[in-house]
Structure 1
Amino acid sequence: MFHRIRRRAKQSEEHRRFAELSARLQDQVPPGIGVPPADPQPIEQTATVDDFLPPDLRVPSHDQVAGTMMPWKQPFVLDGAMVACVECGAYRDWLILSTRGQIWLRCPSGHQQREGRLDPAWFNRNRGPTDATHATFEDCLRHLGH
């Protein structure tokens, strides 16, 4: 019971000191309040630097490209079955094309077939970095050796 009385006495002493301090500071104003601001100093003009890459190092964004492709040299296995060209039966050395949200497989003979079991997310996970951009589909085929 005595500890409650001591605690109340201590709190009342703290309240009394806080009230005295507040009364003393009541009419004081912090420095800088009510004083007109100083004229701003003129800022030196610095040369603006273009922080973008030079045009020859820029890669077009995904909405500026009609599609992307990557080579797939080994046999292509989906759902436990090896994928083969429906026209010639080739099963390796594919080009995998991603365009308009679809995935297409192109065999070495030039036959193309849509692969519905794959999506652009799979393509993006498995492709490597882009090493070149080409203006036409044929230029890209030549670049990849087809």
Structure 2
Amino acid sequence: MLGRIRRYKPDPVAEEIQRRFQEDLGDLIPAEPTTPEPVMPQAAPGCEVDDFLPPDLRVPSHDQVDGRMMPWPQPLTLDGEMVCCTGCGAYRDWIVISTHDEIWLRCRTGHQQRETRLDTAWYNRTAGPADATHTAFEDCLRHLGH
């Protein structure tokens, strides 16, 4: 392969064809593309423009919520060991709760245990976007099917 690259010599006929093609193409395309400047809407004097979403479309920020939850239906394996509930021995169908920089696991029967091998960074990488916000812990559990 390297021998072929070293033996390559430019073809003057092909270069001439390419040069003529580019010249012909240059006649068809303008030298500088003209794009219209975007027009920014301006408020009338004395009026203020609200740049924020309406209140019903705003999502609360991380400091406005006490925690986040996500379902985890499959078994959870950490450090090569399957996590089991300390109360009933369940090993799947968890609710993973992230609150105050701690991760808690809740089984289907309602036992909760703190998982120190997981952190908020793991939760943020793993959890998808929130699909609902709730004012009560029980409402969120009901939303997730527990």
Deviations 1:95-144 (A, max 9, x none): 00001110000001110000000110110000000111100100100110
Deviations 1:47-102 (A, max 9, x none): 43211111111111111111101000111110111101011011111000001110
Cα distance in 2, alignment partners of residues 91 and 71 from structure 1? 13
1:61-80 paired onto structure 2 within 5 Å: 61-80=61-80
Match of 2:16 in 1: none
SS at match of 1:145: coil
Match of 1:83 in 2: 83
Amino acid at match of 1:127: A
Cα distance in 1, alignment partners of residues 131 and 54 from structure 2? 16
State the 1:45 CA deviation.
Answer: 1.5
Match of 1:103 in 2: 103
Amino acid at match of 1:54: P
Amino acid at match of 1:138: E
Amino acid at match of 2:112: Q
Match of 2:33 in 1: none
Amino acid at match of 1:140: C
1:12-91 paired onto structure 2 within 5 Å: 45=45, 47-91=47-91
Amino acid at match of 2:66: A
Unpaired runs of 5+ in structure 2? 1-43
Cα distance in 1, alignment partners of residues 92 and 122 from structure 2? 19
SS at match of 2:121: helix
Amino acid at match of 1:111: H
Cα distance in 2, alignment partners of residues 49 and 132 from structure 1? 29
Runs of 4+ residues deviating >2 angstroms: 46-49
Cα distance in 2, alignment partners of residues 50 and 132 from structure 1? 25
The number of aligned residues is 104
Cα distance in 1, alignment partners of residues 47 and 93 from structure 2? 52
State the 1:46 CA deviation.
Answer: 6.9
Amino acid at match of 2:137: F
SS at match of 1:52: coil
Cα distance in 1, alignment partners of residues 141 and 115 from structure 2? 19
Cα distance in 1, alignment partners of residues 92 and 49 from structure 2? 49
**Length-normalised TM-score, structure 2:** 0.68
